[in-house]
């Protein structure tokens, strides 16, 4: 019998209007006094049957249709916790096909695709202190240095099986803490049928992939991260979904979750199906998924994948039609993303929302009221591409291409940026970051240390993909663990040590993040020294005496008695030299403390002189200065 209670009717109506942001309590499976109630949205289906372990997967349990919403419903005392089920959908054309439950919170292990009747156990969280601290300060005024992880290939057992989150809790958390990262970001953890998609072609938007263990294990992992002062982000994919016909595509035989227009429904580039982001029921589905992950797993934020594909009608390969204004804006996607961020910020104001977006035509970060999408951060893909191109280049050609390193200073305040060296840059023949670097093996390590110093010192939050912290030479392989045996090599071990020390310096030095949302955070000393390929600048904090001088030598020539302009007279101490022996270089000690001399340099009245190592980077801090 159809449930006509006031609560259910209200949930149904909110689903139809795109305002039910906890739709998993209405659709999917839910425990009731007499057993379980199952509901699934298939408005044009001729009939839907509940099938599973409890009825030998036959048609003995027909469901009843709620005519207003097109939701099919059945209450039954037959199923029990842990049993598997699907929906047998007789589609609009009469074809019968087994379909997954789009709202399931647990699936059997792949290659199986049936949902499991599952109740996530209650948990007494221990992270109140962490969550309280996150509410006190805006993330812009805190250090944010992300270790990007593909959960199933970070480390493998000898038999090739990946670690579960129970095992990652014991191995990954201590490692991230030792390496001085502030956050972990996981490639998508939601259920997906093909490991080769890395999790970006989803089927279960509410389900932790059973490949990674249980929901309870992931909750314990997040709780332990927070106890160790590590935040947790997860990638989330609202733009498109897996094409497998037993999952979401053409659920009732007609466009249901996808666009009516077949050209808009197909994503040719990725071989997926695109959500109709203007459909109210789809908005309820997707926003509920995001809130579910934030609430149930206490995530600190989400990175929304492939935002450009949701913003532009001509993003994909193939035919497209202009919008009603004659342009390429996908208005449905634009307004959905604004709505998503507005709802999330209302529910969880401290949540950090990040966008992977590669264009410059739309304001991604900032207030929705001003026309922006409302994200907190945007991945700076332009910076990443320019920087990698520069460091791959023979130094002979760098003087003519110095703009690749300095152009970002022109637009760095246009958005709130994350500077990413992500998984996408170390796969599909692009080579690892280490392998990209110019020169022999020694010079490659020197370049990598220099480049990481530039990332840490440049305004913007930071992200580095796993394995890059020690300079793994092989490309990332999703179906294998990282090459941990690299660390038996002295140079790799020293590179790992360098990254940990650099990350610690970033956390300790307020000038690297305290004023990051203002232009006052940086002052260029000399961005025009193209002949010597040396870049120098200052990073500042709220306290005028607290600042750092950064000097990057991008040439394989040591610079003796090199002049650097400084703002105040006094002494200056070197706090980082990337060419120290302990990091893999040849220097046994830092440069001595410098005393400024009263001699003009650019717009400064004072300067210091020091030695710049070949391909080295220095960070220098005032020790005893006189301010007027």
Give the active site residues: 305, 356
Instruction: Name residue, tokens 């991008």.
Output: 554
- Tokens 């990254």 locate to 499
Q: Which residues of 143-152 are buried (b: 16+ CB within 10 A; e: fewer)?
A: bbbbbbbbbb
CB 112 within 8 A of CB 98: no
Report whether 276 contacts 260 (CB < 8 A). Answer: yes
CA distances from 544 to 11, 59, 511, 522, 566 (A): 55, 75, 10, 12, 13
Residue 428 gets the label, from left (phi > 0), alpha (psi -120 to 50) or beta, of: left
Token pair 């191109």 is at which residue? 389
Closest CA to 279 of 498, 495, 513, 70: 70
DSSP track, 201-253 = S-SEEEEE-GGG--HHHHHHHHHHHHHTT-EEEEEE--SEE---TTSSTTTTS
Q: From CA 518, how far away is CA 413, in angstroms rounded?
A: 7
Phi, psi torsion values for 6, nearest 5 degrees: -60, -40
Orientation of helix 441-457 relative to helix 490-508, angle to 10°: 10
Query: Is-contact 300 351, C-beta < 8 A?
Result: yes
174's tokens: 């201590």
Q: What is the DSSP letter of 106?
A: -
Nearest to residue 455, comparing CAs of 375, 526, 386? Answer: 386
Give the residue among 413, 259, 225 at the shortest CA–CA distance from 336. Answer: 259
Q: Is the CB of residue 417 less than 8 Å from the CB of residue 460?
A: yes
**CA-to-CA separations, 17 to 10, 38, 114, 282, 341, in angstroms, rounded:** 11, 21, 29, 10, 18
Phi, psi of 257 (to 5 degrees): -85, -20
The sign of the torsion formed by the CA atoms of 483, 489, 493, 495 equals negative
- Cis ω before 230 (30° cut-off from 0): no
Any residues with CB less than 8 A from the CB of 526 and at least 6 apart, and which?
534, 535, 536, 564, 565, 601, 602
Is the separation of the CB atoms in 514 and 584 below 8 Å?
Answer: no
Q: How far apart are CA 288 and CA 286, in angstroms?
A: 5
DSSP per residue over 375-395, as a string?
BSEEE-HHHHHHHHHHHHS-G
Euclidean distance between CA atoms 468 and 146, whole angstroms: 12
């Amino acid at each position: 019998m159809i449930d006509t209670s006031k609560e259910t009717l209200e949930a149904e109506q909110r689903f139809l209007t795109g305002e039910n942001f906890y739709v998993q309590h209405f659709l999917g499976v839910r425990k009731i006094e007499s057993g379980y109630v199952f509901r699934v949205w298939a408005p044009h289906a001729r009939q839907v049957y509940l099938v599973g372990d409890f009825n030998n997967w036959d048609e003995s349990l027909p469901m009843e249709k709620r005519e207003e919403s097109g939701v099919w419903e059945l209450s039954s005392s037959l199923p029990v916790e842990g049993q598997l089920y699907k929906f047998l959908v007789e589609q609009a054309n009469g074809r019968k096909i087994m379909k997954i439950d789009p709202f399931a919170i647990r699936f059997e292990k792949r290659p199986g695709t049936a949902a499991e009747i599952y109740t996530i156990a209650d948990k007494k969280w221990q992270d109140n202190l962490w969550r309280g601290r996150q509410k006190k300060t805006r993330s812009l005024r805190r250090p944010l240095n992300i270790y990007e992880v593909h959960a199933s290939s970070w480390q493998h057992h000898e038999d090739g099986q990946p670690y579960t989150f129970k095992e990652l809790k014991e191995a990954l958390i201590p490692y991230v803490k030792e390496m001085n990262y502030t956050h972990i970001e996981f490639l998508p953890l939601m259920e997906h049928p093909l490991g080769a998609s890395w999790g970006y072609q989803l089927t279960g938007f509410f389900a932790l992939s059973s490949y990674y263990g249980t929901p309870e294990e992931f909750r314990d992992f997040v709780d332990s991260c927070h106890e160790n002062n590590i935040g947790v982000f997860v990638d989330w994919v609202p733009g498109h979904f897996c094409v497998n016909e037993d999952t979401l595509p053409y659920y009732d035989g007609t466009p249901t979750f996808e666009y009516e227009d077949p050209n808009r429904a197909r994503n040719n580039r990725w071989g997926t199906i695109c959500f109709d982001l203007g459909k109210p029921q789809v908005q309820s589905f997707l926003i509920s998924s995001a809130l579910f992950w934030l609430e149930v797993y206490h995530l600190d934020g989400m990175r929304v994948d492939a935002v450009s594909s949701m913003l532009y009608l001509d993003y994909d390969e193939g035919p497209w039609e202009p919008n009603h204004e004659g342009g390429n804006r996908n208005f449905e996607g634009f307004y959905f993303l604004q709505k998503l961020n507005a709802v999330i910020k209302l529910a969880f104001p401290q949540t950090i929302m990040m966008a992977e977006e590669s264009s410059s035509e739309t304001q991604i970060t900032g207030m929705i009221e001003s026309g922006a999408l409302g994200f907190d951060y945007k991945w700076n893909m332009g910076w990443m591409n320019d920087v990698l191109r520069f460091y791959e280049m023979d130094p002979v050609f760098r003087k003519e291409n110095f703009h690749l390193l300095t152009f970002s200073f022109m637009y760095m305040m246009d958005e709130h940026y994350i500077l990413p060296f992500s998984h996408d840059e170390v796969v599909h023949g692009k080579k690892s970051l280490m392998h990209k670097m110019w020169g022999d093996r020694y010079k490659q390590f020197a370049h990598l240390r220099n480049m990481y110093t530039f990332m840490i010192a440049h305004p913007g939050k930071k992200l580095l993909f796993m394995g890059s912290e020690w300079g793994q030479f092989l490309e990332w392989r999703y179906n294998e663990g990282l090459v941990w045996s690299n660390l038996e090599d002295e140079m790799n071990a020293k590179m790992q040590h360098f990254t940990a020390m650099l990350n610690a310096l970033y956390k300790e030095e307020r000038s690297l993040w305290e004023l990051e949302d203002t232009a006052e955070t940086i002052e260029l000393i000399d961005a025009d020294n193209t002949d010597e390929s040396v870049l120098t600048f200052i990073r500042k904090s709220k306290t005028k005496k607290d600042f750092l001088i950064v000097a990057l030598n991008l040439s394989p020539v040591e610079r003796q008695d090199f002049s650097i302009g400084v703002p105040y007279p006094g002494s200056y101490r070197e706090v980082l030299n990337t060419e120290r022996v302990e990091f893999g270089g040849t220097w046994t000690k830092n440069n001595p403390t410098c005393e400024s001399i009263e001699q003009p340099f650019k717009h400064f009245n004072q300067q210091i002189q020091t030695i710049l190592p070949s391909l080295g980077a220095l960070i220098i801090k005032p020790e005893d200065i006189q301010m007027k």
